[in-house]
Amino acid sequence: MVTEDQVRQALRNVLDPEIGKPIEDIGMLQGIEVNDGSVRVHVLITIEGCPLKDRITADVTSALQPLGVDRVDVDLSPMSEQQRAELVTKLRGGATPAPQQQRQFFVGTDTTVIAVASGKGGVGKSSVTVNLACALAAEGHRVGVLDADVWGFSVPRMIGVTGQPVGFNNMILPLESHGVKVISMGFFVPEETPVIWRGPMLHKAIEQFLGDVYWGDLDFLLADLPPGTGDVSISLASFLPGASMLVVTTPQEAARKVAERAGKMAERTNLRPLGVIENMSWFACPHCGERTSIFGSGGGQEAADTLGVPLLAQVPLVPDLREGGDEGRPIVVTDPDSPAGRALTDAARAVAQATRSKVGKPLPIMATPGAAVAGGHAGHHH
C-alpha cells in the first residue's frame, strides 16, 4: 500500500518545465489522494491554456510508475490570481521593495557579482567575459552572464546563443549555452538595429535585466559592461552594491591609462576592484612559437599596481580566440589546453579564489578615514 509520503517523495522529481524547479517547491502541487491502488494528484498550472499540460501529466505519471500504483489521475487546474502573485514573489526571492527606493539585487545571496570593465573598446572585454563564464561553468559553478553592453552587445554571438527568451508571468527566462545562462539586449533588438537610448532608459533596462530575469541560484553573475565609465556602469553599480570589478586591458600604455580611469570609477561607485586581466599580451608565431609583443608590454601589470590588485592573467593574442568568438564556440570549451584557453581557465580559477577570500572584507579604499567623503576628489591629487 502506497503512502502519501512516498508519492510526495516520488513527485520531487517532477519539475515545472518552464521554471525548472520541483512543482512542490513552487506551490504547484496542491494535493495528493491515495485510495487503495490508485493515486490522484492535483496540480496547479500557471496559466489556463498551459501548453505544457501533457508534459506535466506525463512526468507525474512516470514519476509514480516505480511505486507500482495501478492508476494515476492527474487533475490540472489553473492558479488563481492570488496564487500566481505568490509564485512570482517566491521566485523573486520574496523581495517586494518600496517603489521609490533604489532596488538592489543579489544582496545577502551567495551569488558573486563581477562587473567586467575596460577603459576603452576593442580590448576583448566581451571575449574575456564569455570565456571566463564558460570556464567557471566547466568547473561546476552555476554561472550567468548579463550583457550590459547595451550598444555593442556581442555576448550572444560569442557564446553561441540565438533565439528569444520566453516570458513567464512577467519574468524573463535567460537562454543557455555551454552551461551558462545569458541575457542580452541582443535578444530583444535585431543585431543590425542601432540602440539609441538615453541614460534613464538604460537604467530601466539594466533594472529589468536584474530584477525581471529568472536567474535561479547562481554562484557567479558576470556583467559585461560597455567600455568606459558611463551611465550604464554607474546604474549597474547602484543596483549591485556588493559587486566586484574586473578590469580588462591590453599591454599598451594608453589602455593602462584608461584602466586607471576605470579604477577611479570603481572607487566612486563602490565596485570593489578584484584584479586585472591583460588581453592580447603577445602573439605566438604558429611556426616557431616565438612571442612577439605586438602591443608593447607591461600595461596590465602597471594597471594592476595602480589599482592595488593582482594581475590575474595574460592572455596571448591567437586567431583561434577570435574565431571561436565569431562562431560562438569559446576557446576554453573548444581548446582548453591551448595557451589562451589555459590562461583564461587559470584566470577563472583565480577569480573564483579571489572572490571567496574577499567576502565580507571592507574595501581597501573605504578603510582610510575621510576617503569615502572625498570620493569625488580622491583621484585628482597626483
Common-topology check for domains 4-91 and 112-359: no
What one-letter code names the amino acid at 348? A
Show me where the domains of the chain are located.
4-91, 112-359
182-209 pLDDT, tens per residue? Answer: 998 888 777 666 666 677 777 888 888 8
Q: Which CATH superfamily is domain 112-359 in?
A: P-loop containing nucleotide triphosphate hydrolases (3.40.50.300)
Q: Classify domain 4-91 at the CATH topology level.
A: GMP Synthetase; Chain A, domain 3 (3.30.300)
Q: What's the pTM?
A: 0.66
The CA distance from 195 to 326, in Å, is 21
Q: What is the pLDDT of residue 163?
A: 78
Q: What is the pLDDT of residue 191?
A: 65
For the chain, where are the alpha helices, taking DSSP H only?
A: 4-10, 53-64, 81-91, 125-138, 155-159, 199-211, 231-239, 253-269, 299-307, 319-327, 331-334, 339-358, 364-367
| 263 vs 212, higher pLDDT | 212
335-351 pLDDT, tens per residue? Answer: 888 888 999 999 999 99
What one-letter code names the amino acid at 163? G
| 152 vs 309, higher pLDDT | 309
